[in-house]
């Protein structure tokens, strides 16, 4: 191994001092040789321990490895991306980041309490933590706050798109099923379509290129919607949106991390911590401990419980979501990513599979799949794309999406001088993971962030 000067157009677009090695890609990516660089940029290299090998933790580990740090990634499960990142909606929604906390949300809650088929199933809990989260959520349900959050998430989303595309340009993998296929959000009544057009005009100020289509135009851009045309009022088309297989991306990142010299430990749940001099000295595993200079919790809702064990509270709630994966090889499935706004269901094609995801259960942090909720998702999916495939043979899944009351992720140092969090992405974890890792790297390096990082501090959750 020898040091080289490498000029890169990747994450930072600057000259990096790097040590590099030639490595072969795996069979899925071809037999070409790849060179993975280890960058030294800013402060001297440190040992960073990251907890959580979902999409956010993996991007964090990869980005810090590229920064030149020694990285150890801990995951309690037996592989990467087996929780929230496993079978999510697969949409990369960079231009469609409206938070759940908006004025219309509060008016909808009474109906959600009574309708088990509703897109948002609200089940009040006796937990004070739950009600504290709900009160803070309600405070964010104003037009001014929702618009500000949208602006902030758009900035992070656009940064994330640049970072992800840089990674995929450098290390492509056909198994990811990554496509810039565009997204179409469907509306079935005039009031919701008018509200969507107002949002379109607002987001256009910040660089979003979106188009309002009438029902016939929706079918023209996505012929698989032909049977739904008479029930549509219109749609919002965003040609620049992407689709990707989240779990495949997790596997891809894990392979890159290991080839780049990072360490990943699976079946390694964190059981506690050891302090020394006001800092975390080590995290305790069942049979050992991991000492490091810096620690990052990026394990989704489980990070909330680890922080609680350290005497720290963060406003995170696990919003339960569901998905189906349908074999659509012989069916009539969409090419575009589709969102049914009435039922809050998304459709994304991944090769010969159609991912159908949606619904939110608030107040239920179990990952079981109630038969009634599964039946609702299947019925609503059939109503949009009845010929996509055999829904009775679909693979169901449920996972918890860790959300803050505001809808913004937390990317901050918390509680101790060497403890950071990168959590709380809600339904946008796949979309925002790459950009969040970039902000985390900036925070650890002590340099100005590429976008305003203030909205993502714990104090603003």
Task: Give CA–CA dist 281/292, Å, rounded.
Answer: 7
Average pLDDT value for residue range 111-134: 80
Using the predicted structure, report yes or no on whether residue 243 has a pLDDT greater than 90: yes
Domains, in order of start, for the chain? 2-83+251-315+410-460 (3.50.50.60), 91-125+139-151+166-246+316-403 (3.30.9.10)
Residue 23 — very low, low, confident or very high, per pLDDT cuts 50/70/90? Answer: very low
Mean pLDDT of 203-219: 96
Q: Is the pLDDT of residue 116 over 90?
A: no
Q: What pLDDT is stored for residue 309 in this prediction?
A: 92
**Residue 313: what pLDDT?**
94
Do 418 and 294 meet the contact criterion of CB atoms below 8 Å apart? yes
Nearest to 295 by CA among 39, 42, 47, 45: 47
Task: Assess whether pLDDT exceeds 90 at residue 79.
Answer: yes
pLDDT, tens digit, for every residue of 191-203?
999 999 999 999 9
DSSP symbol at 142: S
Model confidence at 302, in pLDDT bands (50, 70, 90)? very high
What is the pLDDT of the chain when averaged over all its residues?
Answer: 89
| Those residues with Cβ within 8 angstroms of residue 1's Cβ, 6 or more apart along the chain or in another chain | 19, 20, 21
Give pLDDT tens digits for 61-71: 999 999 999 99
Q: For 139-166, what is the mean pLDDT?
A: 96
* 323 vs 127, more confident: 323
Measured CA to CA, the distance from residue 55 to residue 48 in angstroms comes to 17
Edge-to-edge strand order for the sheet containing 289-291? 272-276, 279-284, 289-291
* Residue 364 confidence (pLDDT): 86
pLDDT given at position 121: 85
What is the H or E stretch that residue 161 is in?
helix 143-170
Structure confidence at residue 439 as a pLDDT band (50, 70, 90)? very high
Question: Does an H or E element contain 445, and which?
Answer: helix 429-445
Would the pLDDT of 431 be above 50?
A: yes
Strands 242-243 and 91-92: antiparallel
Residues 6 or more apart whose Cβ sits within 8 Å of residue 122? 109, 112, 113, 362, 363
- State the first-to-last Cα distance of the chain, in angstroms, to the nearest integer: 45
- The pair phi, psi for residue 275, each rounded to 5°, is -100, 155
Question: What integer pLDDT is reported at residue 36 of this predicted model?
Answer: 53
Q: Which band of pLDDT confidence, cut at 50, 70 and 90, is reported for residue 15?
A: very low
Of residues 116 and 118, which shows the higher confidence score?
Answer: 118
Give dist(CA 204, CA 311) in Å, integer.
Answer: 43
Tokens of 132: 């504290």
Predicted local confidence at residue 31, as pLDDT: 33
Name the least confident of 111-120, 128-137, 285-294: 111-120
Separation between Cα atoms, residue 22 and residue 365, nearest integer Å? 45
Model confidence at 111, pLDDT cuts 50, 70, 90, reads: low
Average pLDDT over residues 239-245: 97
* Contact in structure between 120 and 345 (CB atoms under 8 Å): no
Q: Give the pairing of strands 345-350 and 353-362.
A: antiparallel
Q: Is the pLDDT of residue 386 over 80?
A: yes
E strand segments, 128-215: 183-187, 211-214
Report the distance separating Cα 244 and Cα 255, nearest Å.
Answer: 17
* 381 vs 309: CA distance, rounded Å: 41
Q: What is the pTM of this model?
A: 0.90
What whole-number percentage of the chain has pLDDT above 90?
81
């Amino acid at each position: 191994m020898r040091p080289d000067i490498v000029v890169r157009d990747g994450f930072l677009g600057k000259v990096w001092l790097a040590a590099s090695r030639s490595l072969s890609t795996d069979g899925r990516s071809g037999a070409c040789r790849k060179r993975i660089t280890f960058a030294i940029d800013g402060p001297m290299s440190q040992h960073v321990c990251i907890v959580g090998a979902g999409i956010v933790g993996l991007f964090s580990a990869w980005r810090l490895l590229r920064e030149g740090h020694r990285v150890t990634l801990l995951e309690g499960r037996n592989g990467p991306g087996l929780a929230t990142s496993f079978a999510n909606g697969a949409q990369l929604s960079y231009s469609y980041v409206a938070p759940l906390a908006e004025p219309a949300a509060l008016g909808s809650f009474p109906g959600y309490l009574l309708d088990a088929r509703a897109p948002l199933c609200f089940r009040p809990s006796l937990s004070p933590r739950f009600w504290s989260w709900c009160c803070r959520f309600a405070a964010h349900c104003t037009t001014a706050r929702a618009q500000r959050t949208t602006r902030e998430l758009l900035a992070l989303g656009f940064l994330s798109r640049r970072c992800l595309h840089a990674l995929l340009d450098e290390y492509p993998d056909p198994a990811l099923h990554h496509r810039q296929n565009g997204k179409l959000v469907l509306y079935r009544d005039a009031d919701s379509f008018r509200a969507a057009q107002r949002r379109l005009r607002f987001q256009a100020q910040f660089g979003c290129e979106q188009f309002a289509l009438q029902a016939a135009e929706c079918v023209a851009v996505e012929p698989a919607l032909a049977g739904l045309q008479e029930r549509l009022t219109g749609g919002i088309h965003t040609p620049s949106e992407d689709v990707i297989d989240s779990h495949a991306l997790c596997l891809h990142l894990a392979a890159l991390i290991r080839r780049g010299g990072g360490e990943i430990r699976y079946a390694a749940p964190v059981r506690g911590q050891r302090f020394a001099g006001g800092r975390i000295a080590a995290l305790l595993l069942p049979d050992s401990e991991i000492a490091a200079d810096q620690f990052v919790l990026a394990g989704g809702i489980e990070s909330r419980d680890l922080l609680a064990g350290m005497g720290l509270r963060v406003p995170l709630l696990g919003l339960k979501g569901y998905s189906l994966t349908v074999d659509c090889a012989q069916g009539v499935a969409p090419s575009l990513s589709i969102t049914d706004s009435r039922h809050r269901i998304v459709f994304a094609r991944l090769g010969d599979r159609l991912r159908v995801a949606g619904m939110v259960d608030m107040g239920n942090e179990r990952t079981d799949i109630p038969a009634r909720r599964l039946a609702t998702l299947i019925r609503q999916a059939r109503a949009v794309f009845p010929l996509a495939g055999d829904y009775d043979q679909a693979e169901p899944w449920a996972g918890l999406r860790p959300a803050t009351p505001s809808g913004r992720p937390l990317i901050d140092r918390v509680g101790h001088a060497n403890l950071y969090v990168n959590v709380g992405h809600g339904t946008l974890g796949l979309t925002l993971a790459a950009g969040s890792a970039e902000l985390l790297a900036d925070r650890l390096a002590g340099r100005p962030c590429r976008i305003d990082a203030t909205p993502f501090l714990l104090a603003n959750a």
